[in-house]
């Protein structure tokens, strides 16, 4: 047995590729983030899209999270099924098919949704009124990302007034995501751009409040900017998600969090002394932000991950690793990696402890 296979001996019963989750690292990450927010007025609303696993969401709630953020209505339905009621769908829910599902969700949970257009407000209002429910609404403000959101200032106020005047809707506040800042590698530049974005968001809040509308909450932020957003007066919630399981992209800028997620793979070929091939490729790794990194393999480095089911890794020619050995790789993007698997293989202190289903996998609608 090589040193590498000895390290991974506890995973011998696990077929590959498999998505591993280190429970010790996960819990340390959850507690660290919870401890940051505990003494602050700003609260944590973790993003479900990062792990899509209700067992993790429940741990986050137990640690003090105010609720859960979801990217899609399908994710919110999964979260509600797990018994979590306070849900923010940080997205626009548009069209009769989805709004009917949203109304059904309102009967068993307390969801809020984002809006950025009068047309969407009208759709939601008409269907909510007919169904006899109230839907909580956040006006989404574009604070620089250039994706969804109405412009800061007067346009946001105008839409907030429309929401407040619409039957079947309840104006709750604002959402503003500084997504163009959260993963900037230079810490000084990340802080500068984040503060500029938050200034637009908070100034819009104050404008709406001066108009006489009550703003119950302002929500935004992410793992890369939580220390800034979480300390910004006027922001009430941070939607950080990646911190729980982590990936190497965020790990480089947030080293205070441990790497809990990895992918277990098997060496299936060694075509030459300095090259091995493992049984996972693009179909099993979220790698939009760069090639995966190899864990616990001295000198091992991904040479190519472009194939669907294969990944080539350069190793020292005298490496003892052999066909059949196991190794772990760290994805650059955890959110799109968890969406590829049906379960986490959970381990702690060198022992397998269980399997946690990833119920939100594939919930794109």
* Domain end call among 214, 240, 266: 240
Q: Which residue has the tokens 């698997």?
A: 341
For residues 123 and 212, membership in a common domain is answered with: yes
When pLDDT is averaged across residues 69-83 and rounded to a whole number, the result is 98
CATH number at residue 266: 2.40.37.20
For residues 118 and 235, membership in a common domain is answered with: yes
Tell me the per-residue pLDDT of 258-290, one tens digit each, with 9 for 90 and over: 999 999 999 999 999 999 999 999 999 998 899
Q: Which domain range does residue 171 map to?
A: 85-240
Euclidean distance between the first and final Cα of the chain, in Å? 46
Tell me the per-residue pLDDT of 348-360, one tens digit each, with 9 for 90 and over: 999 999 999 999 9
For residues 107 and 184, membership in a common domain is answered with: yes
For residues 191 and 291, membership in a common domain is answered with: no
Residue 16 lies in a domain: yes
pLDDT at 3 over 80: no
Residue 39 lies in a domain: no
Residue 305 lies in a domain: yes
For residues 236 and 259, membership in a common domain is answered with: no
pLDDT at 6 over 70: no
pLDDT at 5 over 70: no
Q: Which two tokens stand for residue 98?
A: 């989805």
For residues 98 and 198, membership in a common domain is answered with: yes
pLDDT of residue 1: 45
Residue 121 lies in a domain: yes
What CA–CA distance (Å, rounded) separates 240 from 225? 8
For residues 235 and 300, membership in a common domain is answered with: no
Let me know: does 261 contact 20? Beta carbons within 8 Å. Answer: yes
Residue 194 lies in a domain: yes
Let me know: does 297 contact 321? Beta carbons within 8 Å. Answer: yes
Residue 65 lies in a domain: no
Question: If pLDDT is split at 50, 70 and 90, which confidence band does 120 have?
Answer: very high
Residue 73 lies in a domain: no
* Domain end call among 191, 207, 240: 240
For residues 233 and 307, membership in a common domain is answered with: no
Rounding to the nearest 10 degrees, give the CA dihedral for residues 98, 102, 105, 107: -130
Tell me the per-residue pLDDT of 123-145, one tens digit each, with 9 for 90 and over: 999 999 999 999 999 999 999 99
- Say how many domains are in the chain: 2
For residues 352 and 281, membership in a common domain is answered with: yes
Phi and psi torsions of 186, nearest 5°: -85, 120
Residue 136 lies in a domain: yes
Question: If pLDDT is split at 50, 70 and 90, which confidence band does 201 have?
Answer: very high
Cβ-in-10-Å burial (0-12, 13-18, 19+) of 218 comes to: buried
For residues 287 and 343, membership in a common domain is answered with: yes
CATH number at residue 195: 3.20.20.10
* Domain end call among 240, 272, 307: 240
For residues 98 and 236, membership in a common domain is answered with: yes
For residues 215 and 299, membership in a common domain is answered with: no
């Amino acid at each position: 047995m090589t040193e590498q296979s000895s390290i991974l001996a506890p995973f011998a019963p696990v077929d590959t590729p498999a998505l591993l989750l280190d429970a010790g690292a996960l819990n340390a990450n959850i507690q660290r983030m919870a401890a940051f927010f505990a003494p602050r007025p700003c609260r944590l609303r973790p993003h479900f899209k990062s792990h899509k696993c209700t067992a993790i969401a429940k741990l986050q709630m137990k640690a003090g999270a105010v609720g859960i953020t979801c990217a899609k209505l399908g994710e919110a339905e999964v979260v509600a099924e797990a018994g979590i009621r306070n849900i923010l769908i940080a997205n626009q829910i548009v069209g009769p098919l989805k709004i009917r599902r949203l109304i059904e969700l309102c009967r068993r949970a307390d969801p809020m949704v984002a809006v950025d257009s009068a047309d969407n407000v009208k759709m939601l209002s008409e269907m909510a009124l007919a169904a006899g429910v109230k839907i909580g609404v956040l006006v989404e403000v574009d604070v620089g990302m250039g994706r969804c959101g109405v412009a800061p200032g007067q346009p946001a106020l105008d839409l907030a007034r429309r929401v407040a005047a619409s039957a079947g809707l309840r104006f709750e506040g604002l959402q503003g995501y500084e997504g163009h800042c959260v993963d900037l590698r230079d810490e000084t530049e990340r802080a500068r751009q984040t503060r500029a974005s938050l200034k637009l968001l908070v100034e819009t809040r104050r404008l709406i409040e001066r108009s006489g509308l009550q703003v119950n909450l302002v929500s935004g932020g992410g793992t890369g900017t939580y220390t800034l957003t979480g300390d910004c007066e006027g922001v009430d919630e941070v939607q950080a998600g990646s911190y729980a399981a982590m990936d190497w992209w965020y790990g480089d800028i947030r080293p205070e969090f441990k790497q809990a997620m990895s992918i277990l793979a098997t060496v299936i070929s060694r075509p030459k002394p300095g090259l091995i091939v493992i049984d996972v490729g693009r179909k099993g790794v979220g790698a939009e932000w760069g090639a995966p990194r190899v864990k616990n393999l001295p000198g091992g480095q991904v040479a190519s991950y472009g194939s669907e089911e294969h990944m080539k890794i350069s190793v020292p020619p005298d490496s003892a690793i052999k066909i059949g050995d196991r190794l772990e790789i760290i994805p650059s993007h955890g959110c799109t990696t968890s969406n590829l698997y049906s379960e986490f293989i959970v381990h702690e202190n060198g022992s397998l402890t269980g399997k946690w289903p990833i119920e939100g996998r594939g919930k794109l609608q």
